[in-house]
Amino acid sequence: MSAVGNDSCIDRSHAPLAVLALAAVFRELREKLGLSLNQLGCLSHVARQTLSSIEKQEYFPTAETIARVAEAMGFSFGEFCVKVDCWQARQPGCCRACRYSCMAEGKLRWLDAHRQCTRLQKALPASPVNLPDSH
């Protein structure tokens, strides 16, 4: 039985977004700590290939794997989940609106220096005007 139980802090109903956020936070923390995938694999007892697949957004790990990697980086499972939530919250609203479709390996590809989306946006249809009923 895992110490974190069967529930993950990551909402799997939004799997593409969850995989994206998880990958970005894993990579960000690993790089801040100056760890290679091999080093993190040794510390967490998770295969380097698995860690690489997580960072490439190819694999959604179990809660147990998340906890092992988080603890190897010096964070509790809960602290790591908060970091994932914070990562999502600090992304621009335009990215949340398109569900981060321009993400690649944890980096936004379509943002300019002002954190504005440079992708061509489809024009939204004008909303109907609500006129008062005339009785």
12-108 folds as 434 Repressor (Amino-terminal Domain) (1.10.260)
C-alpha 78/C-alpha 67 separation (Å) is 9
Contacts with 24 (C-beta within 8 Å, 6 or more apart), sequence order: 87, 103, 106, 107
Handedness of CA 78, 14, 57, 99 (dihedral sign): negative
All structural domains of the chain with their residue ranges: 12-108
C-alpha 38/C-alpha 51 separation (Å) is 9
> Could you tell me the pTM of the whole model?
0.63
C-alpha 57/C-alpha 79 separation (Å) is 21
C-alpha 24/C-alpha 32 separation (Å) is 12
What would the pLDDT profile of 1-51 be if each residue is shown by its tens digit? 333 444 445 544 445 677 788 888 999 999 999 999 999 999 999 999 999
What would the pLDDT profile of 66-93 be if each residue is shown by its tens digit? 999 999 999 999 999 999 888 877 776 6
Residue 59 has pLDDT above 80, yes or no: yes
